[in-house]
Chain A
Amino acid sequence: MDVVIDNLPRYLDGFSKTLTLLAASGLLSLLFGTIVAAMRISPIASLRWFATAYTELARNTPLTLVLFFCAFILPYFGVDLDYMILAIIGLSYYTSPFVAEALRSGINGVPVGQAEAARSLGFGFSQSVGLIILPQAFRMTVPPLINVFIALTKNTSVAGGFFVAELFTIGKELANANGDAVIAILVGVAMFYLAITIPLGLLAVQLEKKWVVAR
């Protein structure tokens, strides 16, 4: 336990890097994911195909390979960026199709009858989407989205294998430096991750329970 307290500044350093990764790639993947989801439900066929191909490609590539591409092959082609930024690019690329799927399934989850009812009451496109569909889709989308971000939190640890000194790397270095207290150090690292993932998980379950029953 003393080891953890003694090295608290380093832990916090790594934790802030992890949070930066999470926030930056979370926002970016939310942005790209929304675009991809819009493309997938758009009436324009070629955009739909592109979005489908992108989703399948990104979801079936291991994150390690994606981050390897960002950390080794992009610099080899002359892309000169900080490893942190490269990792954010890789994580956003990997996460955005999951965001898109969550959004899409939320919209698909609203029964057709809702839209039909809105249309038969004389609502136009913007009214039925804005007042009827999206408010319901949003409820069904938020819990899965939270789950995507929980997965992203855990995935930031993979960036630790590619020159980003976040929580996982700090844990590895501390464990190498203090061979006699490996368990305490790694449990300390796990606690920092749990401090993000468990509250988010509880929130998702709570929201889901509340909203599914209300429907």
Chain B
Amino acid sequence: MTGANVLFDAPGPRARRRSLIISIIAGVLVLGGLVWVISMLAAPREASGGLVLPGQFDPTRWDIYANPAVWGAIVGGITRTLQAAAVAAVLALILGVVFSLLRSSTIAWVRVPTAVLLEFIRGMPVLLMMLFILLVASTGQYWAVVSALALYNGAIIGEALRAGLASLPRGQREAALSVGMREMQSKMLIEFPQAFRQMLPIIVAQLVVLLKDTALGFIVGYNELIRTTMYNLSAFYGNRYLFSLFFVTLVVYLVINLSLSWFARWLSRRTASGGGGRRGPKGGQPVDPTQGLLVVQASAAAKQSYVQPGSL
């Protein structure tokens, strides 16, 4: 349904003019809303006791950014956020591979408990897991954040890899076994590389989510970017800078996340055109982690249920 114009007759000159006029009116309304918000922010406000506070764009609310120490603190916060995200991402990838192997094991005693564990991990909030690790294992905030993120995202990546493994053509595994490879060799040398490649866009998108979730560290007390700016710096310099600090934090997050999302999209385009997208989530569409995963899982399940009668 990408070509929505199938639904209409081709617009004539009058319809085109009308849609242009509506477009301009809507644009003016949106711009007007923006201007209103900005003017509200810029207007000086009266506080209690006849005190007049300067507007949000007044230089006195932004003068701390002339101080290099402030930038030093912000960069420190960014570093701690990225560090937690990087360590958690590596651990999550390793855990994902382990989980997917255990989950697709032929031994029921391994497979079933892993499935239950994965459901448990995926079903509860990451924040609760952070608190659990913090209080029960008393690891300190950093490791609480990192290991909770690694566990949660490892479970999701594991599920993605398993779906990728299940959706591979069965001939791949049969061919590997018939040239004399062992089960494990076939898994690691033949099936995994293909499943990993097919699931790469989903995995990268999940890692972007992981990066965003490091912000939960704010609540359990890990000194990441939001805690650094919105808590430490705003407590030190005063509430006056609350909005400007929020603005800077937002911009930093947007820059990091948008460039990562852009990278994920580029990667999914690249892998899709490289002949790897045999049975991947539909070709050129932007990949949404949960959705692509659902499609592949369903097609894998459908395939299994379809294959069974013949193989028995």
**Bound CA–CA A206/B180 (angstroms):** 38
Which chain B residue has the least Cβ–Cβ distance from A205?
B297
Q: Are B253 and A158 in contact (CB under 8 A)?
A: no
Instruction: Verify if B98 is at the interface (C-beta below 8 Å from A).
Output: no
Instruction: Kindly state whether residue B87 has any CB partner on chain A within 8 Å.
Output: no
| Stretch of A2-10, A22-30, A41-49, A80-88 with 4 or more beta carbons under 8 angstroms from chain B | A41-49
CB of A110 within 8 A of chain B? Answer: yes
- Report B151 CB to chain A, min CB distance, Å: 13
Number of interface residues of A (CB under 8 A): 72
- Which residues 130-175 in A have Cβ within 8 Å of B in the complex? 133, 137, 143-144, 147-148, 151, 154-158, 160-161, 168, 171-172, 175
Task: Mark the stretch among B60-68, B116-124, B271-279 that contacts chain A.
Answer: B116-124
Query: A197-B123, A197-B124 given as contacts; is B301 within 8 A of A60 (CB)?
Result: no
List B residues 252-302 near A (Cβ within 8 Å). 253-254, 257-258, 261, 282, 285, 288, 290-291, 294-295, 297-299, 301-302
A62 adjacent to B128 (CB under 8 Å): no
Expressed in whole angstroms, the Cα–Cα distance for A143 and B138 within the complex equals 38
Also in contact, A168 and B7, with CB within 8 A (given A107-B1, A115-B1, A213-B302): no
With A65-B226, A65-B250, A186-B128: A147-B219 Cβ-Cβ less than 8 Å: no
Which among A119, A143, A158, A183 is the interface contact of B127 at CB below 8 angstroms? A158
CB-based nearest B residue for A117? B6
Is A69 located at the chain interface by the 8 A CB criterion?
Answer: yes
Residues of B close to A155: CB separation below 8 A: 125
Q: Contacting A125 at CB < 8 Å: which of B8, B45, B131?
A: B8
* A65 and B123 form a contact (CB under 8 A): no
Collect the chain B residues with CB atoms within 8 Å of residue A109's CB. 1, 282
* Pairwise interchain contact B45-A65, C-beta atoms closer than 8 A: no
A65–B249 CB distance below 8 A: yes
- The 8 A CB mask of B237-257 against A (1 = contact, 0 = none) is 001001100100110011001
Known: A65-B253, A112-B1, A209-B298. A101 touches B288 (CB 8 A): yes
Q: Are A154 and B126 in contact (CB under 8 A)?
A: yes
A38 to chain B, nearest CB (A): 12
Q: Which residue of A lies closest to B47 (CB)?
A: A78
B258–A60 contact, CB under 8 A?
A: yes
| A209-B136 Cα distance, complex, nearest whole Å | 39
Beta-carbon nearest neighbor of B257 in chain A = A60
Q: Is the CB of A46 within 8 A of B285?
A: no
Q: Is the interface of A mostly helix, strand, loop or mixed?
A: helix
- B136 x A64 contact (CB < 8 A): no
**B230's closest neighbor in chain A, by CB?**
A68
Interface string of A40-80 (1 = CB under 8 A from B): 01011111001000001100111111001100110011100
| B196 proximal to A (CB < 8 A) | no
Q: How far is the CB of A32 from chain B (nearest CB, A)?
A: 15
Contact A190 B124 (CB under 8 A): yes
A108 CA to B45 CA, complexed, in Å: 47
How many angstroms from the CA of A161 to the CA of B218 in the assembled complex?
Answer: 9
B105 within 8 Å of A by Cβ?
A: no
The distance in angstroms between the C-alpha atoms of A102 and B291, with both chains bound, is 8
Say whether A64 contacts B298, CB under 8 Å. Answer: no
Whether A193 and B124, one on each chain, are in contact in the complex, defined by CB atoms closer than 8 angstroms, is: yes
A185 to chain B, nearest CB (A): 9
- A212 contacts which of B1, B30, B120, B295 (Cβ < 8 Å)? B295
Contacts of A183 on B, CB cut-off 8 Å? 132, 136
| B212:A76 contact, CB within 8 angstroms | no
Residue numbers in A under 8 Å from B128 (CB-CB): 157, 168, 171, 186, 189-190, 193
- A89 interface residue per 8 A CB criterion: no
A155 to B135, CA, bound (A): 21
Q: Per a CB cutoff under 8 Å, which of A41, A65, A73, A144 touches B4?
A: A41
A selection of 19 A-B contacts at a CB cut-off of 8 Å is A47-B26, A60-B253, A62-B213, A63-B212, A65-B246, A76-B239, A77-B45, A105-B288, A110-B1, A133-B7, A157-B128, A160-B127, A168-B125, A168-B127, A186-B131, A190-B132, A193-B123, A205-B298, A212-B295
- Sorted from nearest, which 3 A-B pairs have the closest CB atoms? A46-B27, A62-B215, A161-B219
Query: Which residues of B line the A interface, CB within 8 A?
Result: 1-4, 6-8, 19, 22-24, 26-27, 30, 45, 119-120, 122-128, 131-132, 135-136, 212-216, 218-219, 226, 230, 239, 242-243, 246, 249-250, 253-254, 257-258, 261, 282, 285, 288, 290-291, 294-295, 297-299, 301-302, 305
On A, residues with C-beta under 8 Å from B are: 41, 43-47, 50, 56-57, 60-65, 68-69, 72-73, 76-78, 101-102, 105, 107-112, 114-116, 119, 125, 128-129, 133, 137, 143-144, 147-148, 151, 154-158, 160-161, 168, 171-172, 175, 182-183, 186, 189-190, 193-194, 197-198, 201, 204-205, 208-209, 212-213
